[in-house]
A and B are shown apart, each in its own frame.
Chain A
Amino acid sequence: MQGLRIAPLLAAALAGLFVAACRPDADVQPPEAVPGSVLPANFPAPVYGPEQNPPDRATFELGRSLFYDPVLSRDGTVSCGSCHQQAVAFAHEGRALSPGVQGRLGTRNSPALQNLRWRRTLLWDGGVANLEVLPLAPITNPLEMDETLPHVLDKLNASPEYRRRFQQIYGSTPINSQQLLRALAQFTAGFTSADSRYDHYVRGEAGGTLDAAELRGLTVFRAQCASCHATDLFTDETYRNNGLDRRFPLDSGRAGITNRPGERGLFKVPSLRNVALTAPYMHDGRFQTLAQVLDHYDHGVVESSTLDAQLRRPDGTLGIPLTAQQRADLQAFLHTLTDPALLSNPQLAPPK
């Protein structure tokens, strides 16, 4: 009973302590949260949660330096940021295919990088299963950075500045591949896009108003598109053949990873966040505008043995029929997914 009587006192004292701690100091600004440390309320549970690589300012900044440093490429001309530009949600503005070292063109469209914490697999074919090892693909691809991991480490270890920064964080030398990859993952895990007008709308926040056309577009979207572009991440992360081609002689997509014939021509369903800015579209960047994409689903889908079942209609025709009005409304809605907080966050820009 003695303990019970003391408890309220203790609680009051503790509350006082918290109140004091919460009172802002007039002179001291609260430190800005490291990008990637906040999980949006309207998202499902992350795959690469913050606990796996706890966000920390120094590591984040190191990852940021590495992301924008062409030292990762063989001849020092291409950085991650060359083909993944913040202003367009870390896609490559206006480029169907991107040039790697010596201007070599890749084979697929540089995808937007956003909400990577929630991705079970990465790349158009899902060949990479963990955010930390994602950079190995572009670093070693001869058409992209054409570099080897041991050589990147040699170059980083020859830099006193990088040696100092890595040692400060990881406490050991020389710099190893795990440190490099985890630092990069801290930065790329910070590309959270959850502050579009649509997000404010679904969370019932200030500024979350959609006009009549956008709301009609949302209704069409939920009925016709959301089975694949699912959840507030706008992808169900499956692989599907969306009827672009009859054959897949140059790029078999997911089958190139799994070697399963039934997966020829399947590519990852991309997120539609910031989609108004990430043109051109599709895994090979063949469509220049959203109007072309919607036209494709309405009347451009072609037959192949692995065509997704959702694009087959009961009457034997293919695609998703959309009226001109529905297409216009869908476009209006898709523009509400643009998120200035990602596109202009100075913490994600190249370091000064």
Chain B
Amino acid sequence: MTFRTLSAYSFALLLGAATLSACDDDTEKPATGTLNVELENVVGSQPLTLGQSYSTLAGDQITVSKFNYIISNIKLTRDNGTVWAEPESYHLVKQAETASRSFAIKDIPTGYYTKLTFTIGVDSARNTAGAQTGALAPDNDMYWSWNSGYIFLKLEGTSPQSSNGQIVYHVGGFRTPYNTIRTVSPALPAGTASLAISKDKTPQLHLKADVQKIFTGPTTIRLSQLSATSHMPDAKSVQLANNYAAGLFSIDHIHTGE
């Protein structure tokens, strides 16, 4: 019984302390947690390795030398329908830079989230804004300087099927009719009802980006027909964007965290 008494006593103390500290702050801060996001670039069932040869679903051979993309405006929808948006949400992912393939989203209100939404690319406001830093700095190899705006996705490599042996896809553009900003909501893994954000556990969300899906979807793209996008927004960029919006990203699994 001693234990119970003590515990009740300490509870009261704790509560007092909590109340006191709450008084220090005019606004009561809701409890928040962190989500780690990990990006894994794959080609079908295999992990993507730069310099290695793969096959598209249509049977073309491709060797990737560069694969970069920008994910932005990440939003999480709770089971009660409220939406939380990550502030200043811009993430540049480069296959060649391991550190860029994982990032933490902080200060998410605790709760159960049933939907993840994000943009592949950069909103038009930032495409026309002044000089940016971080993921949007113009010296990150993802910016067009003469037609200013961001390259949303860059895939470069070689293919024996390409007319000149090269594959150079630089997809971007935010103006009608060649707007390639795409917003996606990949489903939670089968059997996972929600993503729990809490103070004590940091779950890890494992996203896969499947290079094969760039060549398939609404339009099947053969490398013999499309070796390069012109270095500006055009109809081919829109085809690629429609494809990657349809299936590039999937949530492979979620670790509930420690």
Closest to A141 in B: B146
In the complex, per-residue mask of B135-149: 1 if CB is within 8 Å of any chain A CB, else 0: 001110001011111
- A127 to B130 Cα, complex, angstroms: 14
- A150 to B233 Cα, complex, angstroms: 24
Number of A-B contacts (CB under 8 A): 72
Main secondary structure of the interface of B (DSSP, over half): loop
Are A131 and B145 CB-contacts (below 8 A) given A177-B139, A259-B232, A259-B233? Answer: no
Contact A177–B138 (Cβ < 8 Å): yes
Contact A181–B147 (Cβ < 8 Å): no
Are A127 and B139 CB-contacts (below 8 A) given A133-B130, A259-B232, A259-B234? Answer: no
> B130's contact among A130, A149, A153, A257, by CB below 8 Å, is which?
A130
With a 10 A CB-CB cut-off, give which of B137, B138, B145 has the most chain A CB atoms: B145
Contact A178–B143 (Cβ < 8 Å): no
Are A178 and B146 CB-contacts (below 8 A) given A133-B138, A149-B139? Answer: no
- A141 to B147 Cα, complex, angstroms: 11
A-contacting residues, B154-179, CB 8 Å: 175, 177-178
Contact B143–A136 (Cβ < 8 Å): yes
Interface size counted on chain A using CB atoms at 8 A: 32
Are A52 and B131 CB-contacts (below 8 A) given A140-B145, A177-B138, A258-B175? Answer: no
> B131's contact among A137, A181, A258, by CB below 8 Å, is which?
A181
> A136's contact among B138, B175, B177, B234, by CB below 8 Å, is which?
B138
What's the nearest-Cβ distance from chain A to residue B124, in Å?
10
What's the nearest-Cβ distance from chain A to residue B231, in Å?
11
Contact B133–A176 (Cβ < 8 Å): yes
A185 at the interface (CB under 8 A from B): yes
A247 at the interface (CB under 8 A from B): no
B-contacting residues, A53-87, CB 8 Å: 53
A129 at the interface (CB under 8 A from B): yes
A139 at the interface (CB under 8 A from B): yes
Closest to A183 in B: B131
> A129's contact among B128, B133, B138, by CB below 8 Å, is which?
B128
For A129, the chain B residues whose CB sits under 8 A away are 127-128, 148-149
For B127, the chain A residues whose CB sits under 8 A away are 129
What's the nearest-Cβ distance from chain B to residue A95, in Å?
20
Main secondary structure of the interface of A (DSSP, over half): helix
Closest to B124 in A: A129
Are A137 and B146 CB-contacts (below 8 A) given A181-B131, A259-B233, A259-B234? Answer: yes
> A131's contact among B130, B138, B147, by CB below 8 Å, is which?
B130
For A237, the chain B residues whose CB sits under 8 A away are none
For A259, the chain B residues whose CB sits under 8 A away are 178, 232-234
For B128, the chain A residues whose CB sits under 8 A away are 129-130
Closest to A135 in B: B145
- A149 to B143 Cα, complex, angstroms: 11
Interface set of B (CB-CB < 8 Å, partner A): 127-133, 137-139, 143, 145-149, 175, 177-178, 232-234
Which 5 A-B pairs rank lowest in CB-CB distance, beginning with the nearest?
A: A136-B145, A132-B130, A181-B131, A129-B128, A149-B139
> Can you offer 22 A-B residue contacts whose CB atoms are under 8 A?
A48-B130, A52-B130, A129-B128, A129-B149, A133-B138, A137-B146, A139-B145, A140-B146, A141-B145, A149-B138, A153-B139, A176-B133, A177-B137, A177-B138, A178-B132, A178-B137, A180-B131, A182-B131, A185-B131, A256-B232, A257-B232, A258-B178
